[in-house]
């Protein structure tokens, strides 16, 4: 017995058609998502200038995590002329001049001028991790 005939008896044609449609939609979605901004490989604090997309924030008393979504997103732009621009849900949240103190390729300190703030930074696994009090914000670079 042909395997297609076996399934045809078990699964009605409408369900097979629906499954095929869902498969095609899933494949199309994967292709579209792969065309979005590509993650840039980062190996050193020296590569921080550019645009970074917020991925998650973890920590706090109960150690919980909050993740980026369509309704909750953020990015940071580090310009080559020393400007820091933090955007939350497409609205500029903070603009400041910045400097980076480098300890080695992986570790350093981000110093914002206004408000004057120092934040430890780490580059690891192509991610930028910025410590903000009890929270660790994680970003990936897109350009």
- Ordered by start, the domain boundaries in the chain are 3-34, 45-141
- Interacting residues of 128 by C-beta distance below 8 A, sequence separation 6+: 42, 48, 52, 121, 122, 138, 139, 140, 141
Q: What is the pTM of this model?
A: 0.71
Q: What is the pLDDT along the chain (143 residues), one digit of tens a residue?
A: 555 555 455 555 555 454 454 444 444 444 444 445 567 788 899 999 999 999 999 999 999 999 999 999 999 999 999 999 999 999 999 999 999 999 999 999 999 999 999 999 999 989 999 999 999 999 999 98
Give me the residue label for tokens 């400007």: 83
Residue 92 · residue 80 · CB < 8 Å: no
Choose the CATH number for 45-141 among 3.40.30, 3.30.70, 2.40.128, 1.10.10: 2.40.128
How would DSSP label each residue in the chain? Answer: --HHHHHHHHS-HHHHHHHHHHHHHHHHHHHHHHTSPPPPP--SGGG--EEEEEEEEEETTTTEEEE--SSS-EEEEE-TTSEEEEEETTEEEEEEEEEEEESSSSEEEEEETTTTEEEEEEEETTEEEEEETTEEEEEEE--
Give me the residue label for tokens 């953020």: 74
What pLDDT sits at residue 43? Answer: 82
């Amino acid at each position: 017995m042909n395997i297609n005939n076996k399934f045809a008896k078990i699964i009605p044609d409408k369900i097979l058609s629906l499954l095929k449609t869902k498969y095609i939609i899933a494949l199309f979605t994967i292709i579209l998502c792969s065309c979005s901004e590509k993650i840039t490989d980062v190996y050193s604090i020296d590569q921080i200038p550019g645009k970074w997309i917020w991925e998650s924030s973890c920590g706090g008393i109960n150690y919980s995590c909050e993740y980026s979504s369509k309704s909750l997103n953020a990015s940071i732009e580090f310009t080559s002329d020393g400007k820091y621009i933090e955007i939350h849900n497409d609205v500029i949240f903070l603009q400041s001049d910045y400097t980076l103190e480098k300890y080695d390729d992986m570790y350093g300190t981000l110093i914002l001028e206004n408000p004057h703030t120092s934040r430890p930074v780490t580059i690891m696994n192509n991610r930028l991790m910025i410590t903000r009090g009890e929270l660790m914000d994680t970003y990936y670079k897109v350009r």
